[in-house]
Amino acid sequence: MGRGSSPGDLTIPDDARGVVLFAHGSGSGRHSPRNQAVAAALNERGLATMLTDLLTEAEEQLEATTRHLRFDIGLLTERLLVASDWLAHDPSTEHLPLGLFGASTGAAAALSAAAQSDPERVYAVVSRGGRPDLAQDALAQVRAPTLLIVGGLDTTVLALNRDALEQLQTERDLSVIPGATHLFEEPGALEEVSRLAGDWFEHHVPK
């Protein structure tokens, strides 16, 4: 995938109406139990999902000590665009409109990728505990309807998301989950993330 290749896990339910590409956050990947749980919930709603590692195995090993790539939004965006292009040309997904789901720093990559993509290709973006401030230059260029989901106790990230909401020029919304922290580990918090994300993607997927 541009400056390296990365594996991905694609799940396509019967009669899928769209596909959601996941952009994982710092220190995370396609095996993240949180994103896998959200992906499974989206699959139940008839949406295909693609979970892919945005860093190669060698980069992940280097990142464990240097921690310099997790904030390289340009690199993460490039990898995400390559994955998006693959989905647009693979026979099993080429007919499906694309949604983007980003977590933590991956949310910045998702927003940046949406800003650089054909507006008719990306139909919606969802950010979970995201850092949209890291894509600040791209926010005003995003055309896809965007939902920002933040835990009510994740105060620093919540403030950053409120600022980003004002900079977005498209249909957008901010959903705050009371009592939830950054990783949404509290009982019922991740289920609420899945519900909100599913509702957003379902509402905006082209008929």
CB under 8 A, 24+ apart: contacts of 114-117: 114/138, 114/142, 114/143, 114/144, 114/146, 115/139, 115/141, 115/142, 115/143, 116/77, 116/81, 116/141, 117/81, 117/84
State the residue range of the domain holding 48: 8-204
Q: What is the pTM of this model?
A: 0.90
Q: In this predicted structure, what is the pLDDT of residue 109?
A: 95
In total, how many domains does the chain have?
1
Sheet holding 172-177, edge to edge: 8-11, 47-52, 18-23, 98-103, 122-128, 146-151, 172-177
The CATH number linked to 27 is 3.40.50.1820
Q: Is residue 198, in this structure, part of any structural domain at all?
A: yes
Q: Is residue 168, in this structure, part of any structural domain at all?
A: yes
Q: Is residue 47, in this structure, part of any structural domain at all?
A: yes
Q: Is residue 2, in this structure, part of any structural domain at all?
A: no
Q: Is residue 120, in this structure, part of any structural domain at all?
A: yes
Q: Is residue 111, in this structure, part of any structural domain at all?
A: yes
Whether 177 contacts 20, CB under 8 Å = no
Q: Is residue 1, in this structure, part of any structural domain at all?
A: no
Mean pLDDT by 10 residues, the chain (207 residues): 56 96 75 88 97 72 57 87 95 97 94 94 96 94 98 98 97 98 96 98 93
